[in-house]
Amino acid sequence: MSQNHTNQIDDQKADDFLLAYENSLFKEMGLEFLSEEDALILREKTAQLIHRRLLNTLLMYLPEEKAAELQKKADQLEPDGLIDFLIKNVPQAYEKMTKELMDLKDELVGKEND
């Protein structure tokens, strides 16, 4: 299996996970009955918020030497390339991302974290 095909599978899994996360979030917030137009607008805003939160979380945990490497590459990376770089270079990236998504969900649906 080629690396490109593997990346496509990983991207699809990530997309499926984020869609399921958004659907769950909308349901818990009681927003699953929005009009199609309002739901689309809210999904776009939610996707932007999620992307920023995950990016900030991963940047927080990026080791110093990798931060220097990222700084050199930053102008050449596409947004997806940036996320890929962070996932590859942040220890336990997926666990950190999952925790951040759960924290965000709790914040949006009004649950308090202990």
The per-residue pLDDT for 5 is 37
Q: How far apart are CA 19 and CA 23, in angstroms?
A: 6
The per-residue pLDDT for 2 is 40
The per-residue pLDDT for 25 is 84
Instruction: Give the chain's radius of gyration (CA, Å).
Output: 16
**Segments of the chain scoring below 50 in pLDDT:** 1-9, 114
The per-residue pLDDT for 78 is 81
Q: How far apart are CA 11 and CA 34, in angstroms?
A: 28
Query: What is the enclosing helix (H) or strand (E) of 90?
Result: none
**Residues 87-105: tens digit of each pLDDT:** 899 999 989 999 999 999 8
- Prediction pTM value: 0.74
